[in-house]
Amino acid sequence: MRKILVMGATSAIAQATNRLFAQDGDYLFLVARNREKLESISADLALRGAGRVITVVQDANATEGHAALVKQAAQALGGLDTLLVAHGLLPDQKQCQASWTATRQALETNALSILSLLTHGANHFEAQGHGTIAVISSVAGDRGRQSNYVYGAAKAMVSTFLQGLRNRLHASGVTVVTIKPGFVDTPMTASYSKGLLWAQPEQVARDIHEAVVSKREICYTPWFWRWIMWVIQHLPEWLFKRLSL
């Protein structure tokens, strides 16, 4: 039985992952902005076997409250051993290209708010000498592409931060899991045309759950994205510039 703080608990991937945690009897501290959704999800998870479900309404960008949030979760659950960060937004690349304000907002939500939460979570786990930090980053952070480089830059920042945390916290017995989904069919991507490379949230959730349980540090989901991104990362720049990716 784990005691888990989930940031962005109403996202489609987080909901599917929380259902698997509930089946394990885990204690869950769910944080998101939508109170009605949280209450509905909480009731569903209790029926599925969650040992305890507590909900808190908070905007992830309210970074001044992150330290208190970690303490609140630990007190409410009687301890805290897992942090799952699942919040984020998919910015409009064209809008970001035209507006620094839009770019900054995307970076604040997809990178800076996560780094803030990780700073407080990492200090908590390091002090107690154990714990698991799992963060949904993205394959988009593996190489900047013209179609989504603002989103990709934020995810690259998160992935690099997690690399450093993993290196720092190894001696403390804390596991840091970087989750890199490819295309996922969620409300956030509802306007996109879907193809063979697209996965359902339930499939990604199974990989996240397995990574947390087994303490696998790098998790591409579905698995084939590891090899797709290996190819994209190794394309020479002269060729990469000529592709419309």
Q: pLDDT tens across 64-76, in order?
A: 999 999 999 999 9
Distance CA 107, CA 120 (A): 19
pLDDT in tens, 19-35: 999 999 999 999 999 99
> Is 132's pLDDT higher than 90?
yes
**Prediction pTM value:** 0.95
The 10 Å CB-count burial string (b at 16+, else e) for 71-85 is ebbbebbeebbbbbb
**What is the predicted pLDDT for the residue at 213?**
97
pLDDT band at 119 (very low <50, low <70, confident <90, very high): very high
- Terminal CA-CA length for the chain: 43
Return the amino acid letter for 66: H
> How are beta strands 52-57 and 27-32 bridged, if at all?
parallel
Percent of the chain with pLDDT over 70: 100
Q: What is the pLDDT of residues 148-190, one digit of tens each?
A: 999 999 999 999 999 999 999 999 999 999 999 999 999 989 8
Compute the mean pLDDT over every residue in the chain, rounded to the nearest whole number. 97
Residue 192 predicted with pLDDT over 90 = no
Give the pLDDT band (50/70/90) at residue 11: very high
User: Residue 82: is its pLDDT beyond 90?
Assistant: yes
pLDDT, residue 234, reads: 97
Torsion of CA 162, 165, 167, 172, to 10 degrees: -140
Mean pLDDT in residue range 223-227: 97
